Structure 1
């Protein structure tokens, strides 16, 4: 099983969102690219207010190695809509387990606020405990990874529509065989062919206008019987709200 994250130790995947399409430029305004300081895209994420971003905990490459880019569409072309901000604080979920991928979610506090406007906006989150029905069609977006070693097309954002798969089906012996916890959601087609892939980690799975999932892990990409696995945002809504609230109440007390 792989995390959908392009780390130094892994094969350089040339896939991006598999089986998807390029959306209208700047139509997915809440997505951000999480990059290394030398501008290598590592993961996706999404803005939940002008200071805070949600991504996957396994995208934690360290505070001083990270750069956040909002308002981007093509990573290789300067469009003049981009905003680059450094992170001030990384808060991976305290229960994140690298082995099981459980609680694979992280908050990033930015050093300066993102300017919201025509090219950047915030994503809405579901309420704590809300479930999303099997068969509901959602969409996941990301830049995935294109090899830096020449010949790649401009790496524009990609998006793909995927149905929610029940945890029962996803946990069956033909599929993930019990590895899907209550903090995870599966989405994809049993025939495969459409999925998130390496470099899409941390990106948003949006259903009914709210982010219900964070791209987390899978087995290969777009393989039959193995849908993509996402962190279930509604299980962490209270944690997100409380973490942000406690950050500000701490600041006010100092």
Structure 2
């Protein structure tokens, strides 16, 4: 369970107001856990060897385990694959104070019986009001502190950077590398434990759950790392990893 300090804001990575999807219908999502099997964050398989998540989910290579093919965190379903990560690549310019560049890649051994998430092209915009879906095993209420047994999902509209950055909301804290999604009235949001999970728009992962103020609070939508800003970094990081392996 992670808390991130953001100055005067307590940034709780937060699914509130959502529902349980059809079991195993979201097959690209993974649970990032401690080696003691405690869920910490979500992530998305972008191919059979690599996971995308948030940089603040980095608990260390020797303490981390990736669980793919899961729906319930408490029931053995026979579809789970537990994998120890081989390599972590947090963005080199990640800033834990501002949450800028909150993105990380995790190299794993090949996974079977899973699907992979598509990514947007570099710089691809996502329009204000477009409906997207965020999923995860995070808190279903900001007050109970309970992690749900099964995966949850909720649909949210994209909020413009202008509105998200207004004095009534995050007051300038949103950088060009972030996107916001949620309702002005609140009530639906990602929540603590959903960090690193996917915000899927038009069939592609446009966002990674990053930070926010509370869970589902009015005027404070969830804040996500804008994946389209990092497509070239993602591709280059993976390419360079294999290039280095060949040289070694």
The alignment's TM-score, normalised by the length of structure 1, stands at 0.90
Aligned to 1:7: 2
Aligned to 1:199: 193
Aligned to 1:100: 98
Aligned to 2:9: none
Aligned length: 238
Q: Structure 1: where are the runs of 5+ without partners? A: 1-5
Q: Structure 2: where are the runs of 5+ without partners? A: 6-12
Instruction: Indicate how the Cα distance of structure 1 residues 194 and 224 shifts in structure 2: closer, same or farther if over 3 A, else same.
Output: same
Post-superposition offset of 1:24 = 0.1
Aligned to 1:214: 208
Write out per-residue CA displacement over residues 38-90 of structure 1, whole angstroms, 9 at most, x where no aligned residue.
Answer: 10000000001111000000000000000000000000000000000000111
- The runs of at least 4 aligned residues of structure 1 exceeding 2 Å deviation read 7-10
Aligned to 2:15: 17
Post-superposition offset of 1:7 = 2.8
Which whole-Å CA distance do the structure 2 matches of 1:44 and 1:154 have between them? 13
What secondary structure is seen at the aligned counterpart in 2 of 1:87? coil
Q: How does 1:122-161 map to 2 (within 5 A)?
A: 122-145=116-139, 155-161=149-155
Aligned to 2:111: 114
CA RMSD of the aligned region, Å?
1.9
Matched-pair contact (CA < 8 Å) for 2:16–2:191? yes
Instruction: Indicate how the Cα distance of structure 1 residues 79 and 114 shifts in structure 2: closer, same or farther if over 3 A, else same.
Output: same
Write out per-residue CA displacement over residues 79-113 of structure 1, whole angstroms, 9 at most, x where no aligned residue.
Answer: 00000000011100001000000000000001x21
Aligned to 2:61: 63
Which whole-Å CA distance do the structure 1 matches of 2:118 and 2:106 have between them? 16
Matched-pair contact (CA < 8 Å) for 2:138–2:191? yes
Instruction: Indicate how the Cα distance of structure 1 residues 67 and 153 shifts in structure 2: closer, same or farther if over 3 A, else same.
Output: closer
Matched-pair contact (CA < 8 Å) for 1:77–1:154? no
